[in-house]
Structure 1
Amino acid sequence: MERKTIKKRKSELQSNESPPKKHNTHTYFKVKNKINDSHNNEILDLLYNLEESHDYNGEIQDVIVLPKEEAKYGKLNFQLPQSVTEVLEKKGIKKLYEHQTLALNSFMNGENVLLCTMAAMINTLKEIPQTAIFVFPLNALVNDQCNSLREMLSLSPELKHKRVVVLNGSTPADQRIRLVNEADILLTNPEMIHWCLLLKAKYLEVFLSRLSLFVLDECHCYSGSFGVHTSMLLRRIHRYCKEVFDRDFQIIACSATIGEPKDFIESFSKVNFTVVESDTCAKEERVFIPYYGLSLFGGLKSLVSKLYDNDRRIIVFCKSRRMVGSITETLTQILPKDVVKSYRGGYTHETRREIELALKQMKIKIVVCTCALEMGVDIGMLDVVIHVGFPLSVSSFWQQAGRVGRRGQPSLSVLFTTMEDPLERHYVYNFESLILKKEIPSIKLNFEQLKILEFHLQRSLNELDGFHSIESIEKYFGPLAKEICENDFVRL
């Protein structure tokens, strides 16, 4: 039976005829050759060239194309301050996306908001300056957003005096209290909220008494025990501000990849939320393929070299630091060393910033990394993402896929597999369902972990010099916390 090429699939679709179903038998499995409705797409042309190359051996197992989407814009129910309008104009922003206006309208109505979009998440928040805490799961995100925020505020004479402070392990210990109390916007991570903000809360009342906004970015990261700890930290800050200053603050949470978002964020924070799930940014066509390689390094060398020859900028995600090193070494054997860089945890801050800047300036064509570049950090325009094996979760898969095609260009996401892992075989067999249904599992947190709950209860009580009221404990920490206080703790 004749093998159907990408070119033939395109011609069938352009003639508005439904392509006949056809199966391409492989030694290990069968995969449907099916493609969604598509227009002229340079990524499909690239895949066609790969298929027509002399050494092609059926590596492309399937092709799924998500169609182009036009942007949708919305209207605000209030007037933005002139200073903010000036900043937006200088950034070339004339209109706000519909999901941004929905989030901002809800926020100005005093609601807590969870924003679930693939792009423009934190940028939405920058338009309303507040005395705020921005919490990120990674220090790389803290530093990246700090630079972006300072740059934006500097565009307005009225806003450039706002003090943006980073609080992390690199902040000098003897300067932390002073820097935090002087801050208008504090960017930090969950660990520093505990070790600095809460354990030294009595010395930071100048800042905490002004706190009006708590921003939680990449909240899909807060799963398992880490998620429970972070949830307890948020509740401790909430309780402290309410009991000491008799004031609440609003919460804005952001995540592009989370299932059942409303249930998660309300159980996480113990407050009500408005959820904005529609992503109304403009999107070009996105192409997804599973790619079978007979061997890991040989298959990757062949694929990456062909993409590089087509002038593509590529990000390769690996599951471990060791694999990052091995793949980087393999690629530098066939490509110029100055166009291939590795990026992972363990590098110094200066080295990471140097690589991030080189990516933004398009000096690096290929970056091989762990999940350290999976979230948020601005790394400029990339064309192709290669997942070496299926990531650790469906959420991670979509996070990684979202790193390309961010500048209005078609993008390609490649699931590279040797088919040795049963999980990878499952997702290759069900690739169409994975892409089109986009069913991201929800995050379920176990708030009945007694050691964690007792740990945070003890510290919350110490922060407030006593119990205050059982009702307050139950409100912020739940009925189990009330039982622990009544039965296990001793009032001193």
Structure 2
Amino acid sequence: MSGVDQLLQMMGQGDLQGISTVAVQEIPARKAEFAGIDALPPALVKALADTGVKNFYTHQAWAVNLLRKGRSVVTATPTASGKSLIYNIPVLESIISDPASRALYLFPLKALTRDQLSSLEELGRLLAGQVQVEAAVYDGDTDPQTRARIRSRPPNILLTNPDMLHRSFLPYHRSWQKFFSGLRYIVVDEVHTYRGVMGSNMAWVFKRLRRICSQYGHEPVFIFSSATIANPGQLCSALTGHEPEVIREGGAPSGKKHFLLLDPEMQGAAQSAIRILQKALELGLRTIVYTQSRKMTELIAMWAAQRAGRLKKYICAYRAGFLPEQRREIEQKLASGDLLAVVSTSALELGIDIGHLDLCLLVGYPGSIMATMQRGGRVGRSGRDSAIMLIGHEDALDQYLLRNPREFFALEPESAVINPDNPSIMRRHLVCAAAEKTIEMQEMMVDSEARKCIKSLEKDGELLASRDKSFYYTRAGYPHKDVDLRGTGQTYNIFDHSTGEYLGEVEGVRAFKETHPGAVYLHMGETYVVQNLDLETSAVFAARADVNYYTRPITEKYTEIVDVQASRATAVGELCLGRLKVTEHVSAYEKRLVRGQARMGLIPLDLPPLVFETQGMWFTLDNRVRREVEDRRLHFMGGLHALEHGLIGCMPLIILTDRNDLGGIATPLHEQLQKGAVFIYDGTPGGIGLCTQAFELAERLVSRAKGILSSCTCENGCPGCIHSPKCGSGNRPLDKEAAMHMLEVLAAEQCGDVKRKVVSCRVEAEDSYMKEDSRKNDNVRIELPYAVLDIETRYSAQEVGGWGNCHLMGISFAVVYDARTREFVSFDQEQAAELGTFLEDFPLVVGFNLLKFDYRVLQGVAYYDFSSLPTLDMLREIEARLGHRLSLDHLARHTLGTNKSANGLMALKWWKEGEMEKIIEYCRQDVAITRDLYLFGRDKGYLIYQNKAGKKVRIPVAW
């Protein structure tokens, strides 16, 4: 019996008391599937065979054949499926046919770079008799002499990381002219890591890279490799502008895996993980333990080592913040077997070669299915049986998944989100771009958002305009040094207070919370107490100390609404999306005993507030809800606070995020709103698109939170439903029953006699027109009634003083298509209120730019709240997908093969001439086109548009 089987038997027989196995899923072994790659150079075929590669998996063959045709490709197959061959084969083939050919390999971590260099050097030696293949690493560890030699005589393959591309290649591209002139392929490994802040920065780095490549006469082919995510093609396109072929199905073999969901019951996830790790070490199983934080990584490694006896030397922690040489030593010991167990943050999630592993312990849900699959993919690479064990934390999300294991195993990977339009990110990269090459206002990189940003930079003196304002220069010689690709703020360096030894680094926002004066800081199993946080020099000084307590920051937060970008009615108020100004003040910290977590005291801090603007969404609750809550003798503020925790806690179930990427504020009376509100915001200055995505899925968010709170059996609230481990006010006050009432009314479809849909404009196709016919055994499509609306105005935007005054434009006619009668109904301006009453009878109102235009115009002529109607605004859906707008005419031309009969200016002319019938007929035709686009998208799941390259492309839609 294998060690994995023995451990599973122990779990099944209850040998580890207090750890309950909630569910087990067996992931069956998979056989290899092979395909051929035709006409490879004989020397390359022989070299590959000498390394043991004689056959190609189906996904490898498919990808290589596409790349040889000049197509960009993204391979999103499981870990350990041989993705490196996909880029090595075409790159080596191009070098054999043209020794001047060059390739750039980008890896997010230095360790990945070193792994790949070894493989390339071996292939290079085997090809030496036929062609000279040179490969070199150019990163922060490369010495100055080697750097100079590489620049003057660049190798065929240059391996580096995003930071070096940004700081050393692009600003000094003239020194790399020979390399850029021969650049044929750009390899982007682990592209799924380029999301959030990192991805938003990288989108600009890639824009700058393509800009420089075009200067040297090339548009390289991109080769992406990714973990399993929902939108690999969309992510790669958003990052680079290239629309790659997507390969998801892998042909690589894999051993059988056992996936267990474990409930630690009373002892907690960390202690349970240590007990299982002890058993695994005794059985000789090579194990990786993943945690959710740096502090927990250090604590589990330290506690496990204390209990391991003679096996203590085989356990080690691994996390970001360690010095490069420390991380490399740990990686080598894992690969060689000198270490049997490593406790890690997500830093070891990627494909660094650490050898064969048998067991993966996830201490808490990683926050996404993508991360779960990626971390679990670390085990079983040798083809032997392996096991993955997810040990649930006490928090709401983990407890919900433990109570609903079928739902957990059915979850699909999430979409990766980036936001290149983040103002603070865009500003810095535009300045860098101008330093590399003068910015022309007509170049592709300068879209409408960039134009606004350039004007702002000009106003602030960071960019200087030419006389005719067609070119922009930067006065900064090397602005790149001030741009951190992995964050939007500054970094603090941590030093040993006594010796001055450099310990690591911490991001600016985290520095205030984790390395404030008095904070307990853990590093490589050692405990330190922070003596000083120097704000002027961005340095932290910490002294070694043995303490029996840990620290937790206490924060105060305030928010100001800067701009409302979208809103819609709920049953008891509004759901809004917009820009927020957040002020967060770390005002004090608690000391708590490690054993028992008893509070030892509260120590005030004198730190400046952190102030930043970001994207956010917020629910308002009318005063009626407050009266209802207080009439029941419940705590209104406690309910709002619990509602905030509940919504944030289940956010990872609907979008790719970690709760630590989000912030929240609950207030019983917001100064600007004059009512109670719950705010959720992106924790990154400028925002990275998380709340924008959640706003569209808010109905699902409310439903999830309601399910989590109602399924928890506690009476007053607990870590399994409304307690948050990162609450800045110590989880006080909280009222679960009040929060449940708020979720009930938010989820209601109507309030009094007025129908008001909660949240999402999206209408799920299955729910909207598929119903089960009880008289038959098959599904019958029943089309629910809907209306399609369009209006024509009396005055132009210019005549009323701009688009901001569209409520003054008046309406000549509004036309509605009634799907019940299949007839068109017309309304004039005097009938605008009747129009609202008429539309109330439909479960869905469809249109194109209804929310930002039609409804605002109508609001100026009728006392009716059109925004309360259940609306599908197709333009907003398209803009959310593409990041930019398309005209109705463009979509009709490429999707339906038809054109609009006229335009809005012609309709204004007809109004002035009294040609009413022409206006009505034109408006009817627009309504018919809108209807046909809606039906096409509803039934087929996509629309078609023509991209900038002149190619017709599908836009996925879900209405």
Fold match (TM-score > 0.5): yes
Q: CA deviation at 1:111?
A: 0.2
2-side partners of 1:87 and 1:427: how far apart? 48
| 1:160-239 mapped onto 2 (5 Å cutoff) | 161-173=132-144, 175-181=146-152, 182-239=154-211
1-side partners of 2:112 and 2:130: how far apart? 22
Residues 153 and 159 of structure 1 are in contact (CA less than 8 Å); yes or no, is this contact kept in structure 2? no
| SS class of match (1:386) | strand
Choose the corresponding residue for 2:389, options 403, 414, 427: 414
> Where does residue 117 of structure 1 map in the other structure?
77
More helix by share: 1
Residues 41 and 285 of structure 1 are in contact (CA less than 8 Å); yes or no, is this contact kept in structure 2? no
Q: Note closer, same or farther for the CA distance 1:155–1:431 as it changes in structure 2 (3 Å cut).
A: farther
2-side partners of 1:344 and 1:148: how far apart? 26
> Where does residue 252 of structure 2 map in the other structure?
281
- The yes-or-no answer on 1:332 pairing with 2:332 is no
Q: Note closer, same or farther for the CA distance 1:485–1:351 as it changes in structure 2 (3 Å cut).
A: closer
| SS class of match (1:414) | strand
Choose the corresponding residue for 2:366, options 391, 397, 404: 391
Q: CA deviation at 1:483?
A: 5.7
After superposition, the C-alpha distances for 1:30-89 in whole angstroms (9 at most, x for unaligned) are xxxxxxxxxx9974554223332555345211101112221111122x311222212211
- Which shifted more, 262-271 or 166-175? 166-175
After superposition, the C-alpha distances for 1:394-433 in whole angstroms (9 at most, x for unaligned) are 322221111101111121111112x411121122233333
> Where does residue 367 of structure 1 map in the other structure?
342
Residues 318 and 370 of structure 1 are in contact (CA less than 8 Å); yes or no, is this contact kept in structure 2? yes
Choose the corresponding residue for 1:86, options 43, 46, 56: 46
Q: Note closer, same or farther for the CA distance 1:302–1:160 as it changes in structure 2 (3 Å cut).
A: farther
Q: Note closer, same or farther for the CA distance 1:491–1:453 as it changes in structure 2 (3 Å cut).
A: farther
In structure 2, what residue type is equivalent to 1:338? K
In structure 2, what residue type is equivalent to 1:254? S
| SS class of match (1:448) | coil
- Which shifted more, 46-55 or 85-94? 46-55
> Where does residue 108 of structure 1 map in the other structure?
68
Q: CA deviation at 1:271?
A: 1.9
Q: Note closer, same or farther for the CA distance 1:448–1:332 as it changes in structure 2 (3 Å cut).
A: closer
After superposition, the C-alpha distances for 1:295-323 in whole angstroms (9 at most, x for unaligned) are 24542232122222333111111222322
- The yes-or-no answer on 1:301 pairing with 2:279 is no
> Where does residue 219 of structure 2 map in the other structure?
248
2-side partners of 1:357 and 1:488: how far apart? 47
Residues 235 and 477 of structure 1 are in contact (CA less than 8 Å); yes or no, is this contact kept in structure 2? no
Choose the corresponding residue for 2:329, options 345, 351, 354: 354
> Where does residue 737 of structure 2 map in the other structure?
none
> Where does residue 400 of structure 2 map in the other structure?
426
Residues 33 and 57 of structure 2 are in contact (CA less than 8 Å); yes or no, is this contact kept in structure 1? yes
> Where does residue 400 of structure 1 map in the other structure?
375
> Where does residue 445 of structure 1 map in the other structure?
418
> Where does residue 321 of structure 1 map in the other structure?
294
More strand by share: 2
> Where does residue 3 of structure 1 map in the other structure?
none
Residues 291 and 415 of structure 1 are in contact (CA less than 8 Å); yes or no, is this contact kept in structure 2? yes
Residues 314 and 383 of structure 1 are in contact (CA less than 8 Å); yes or no, is this contact kept in structure 2? yes
Task: Work out the percentage of aligned pairs sharing the same amino acid.
Answer: 27
- The yes-or-no answer on 1:457 pairing with 2:422 is no
2-side partners of 1:303 and 1:141: how far apart? 30
In structure 1, what residue type is equivalent to 2:206? L
Q: Note closer, same or farther for the CA distance 1:84–1:430 as it changes in structure 2 (3 Å cut).
A: farther
2-side partners of 1:159 and 1:222: how far apart? 37
**What's the TM-score, normalizing by structure 1?**
0.84
Choose the corresponding residue for 1:481, options 440, 450, 460: 450
Structure 2: any 5+ residue segments left out of the alignment?
96-101, 459-464, 468-959
2-side partners of 1:451 and 1:50: how far apart? 50
* Larger Rg computed on CA atoms: 2
Query: Relative contact order (C-alpha < 8 Å, sep 6+): which is higher?
Result: 1
Residues 389 and 416 of structure 1 are in contact (CA less than 8 Å); yes or no, is this contact kept in structure 2? yes
Which ranges of 4 or more aligned residues in structure 1 deviate by more than 6 Å?
none
Q: Note closer, same or farther for the CA distance 1:482–1:82 as it changes in structure 2 (3 Å cut).
A: farther
2-side partners of 1:186 and 1:455: how far apart? 26
Residues 64 and 289 of structure 1 are in contact (CA less than 8 Å); yes or no, is this contact kept in structure 2? yes
| SS class of match (2:183) | coil
1-side partners of 2:418 and 2:250: how far apart? 26
**What's the TM-score, normalizing by structure 2?**
0.44
2-side partners of 1:350 and 1:283: how far apart? 32
2-side partners of 1:284 and 1:200: how far apart? 47
- The yes-or-no answer on 1:148 pairing with 2:119 is yes
Q: What is the number of residues matched between the two proteins?
A: 445
After superposition, the C-alpha distances for 1:83-121 in whole angstroms (9 at most, x for unaligned) are 221221112111000000010010001000001112211
Residues 177 and 203 of structure 1 are in contact (CA less than 8 Å); yes or no, is this contact kept in structure 2? no
Q: Note closer, same or farther for the CA distance 1:395–1:477 as it changes in structure 2 (3 Å cut).
A: farther
RMSD: 2.5
Structure 1: any 5+ residue segments left out of the alignment?
1-39
Q: Note closer, same or farther for the CA distance 1:68–1:439 as it changes in structure 2 (3 Å cut).
A: same
Residues 42 and 410 of structure 1 are in contact (CA less than 8 Å); yes or no, is this contact kept in structure 2? no
Residues 313 and 383 of structure 1 are in contact (CA less than 8 Å); yes or no, is this contact kept in structure 2? yes
1-side partners of 2:12 and 2:197: how far apart? 46
Residues 87 and 155 of structure 1 are in contact (CA less than 8 Å); yes or no, is this contact kept in structure 2? yes
> Where does residue 52 of structure 1 map in the other structure?
13
Q: CA deviation at 1:221?
A: 0.9
In structure 2, what residue type is equivalent to 1:426? Y
In structure 1, what residue type is equivalent to 2:88? K
Residues 266 and 272 of structure 1 are in contact (CA less than 8 Å); yes or no, is this contact kept in structure 2? yes
Q: CA deviation at 1:326?
A: 1.7
Q: Note closer, same or farther for the CA distance 1:442–1:459 as it changes in structure 2 (3 Å cut).
A: same
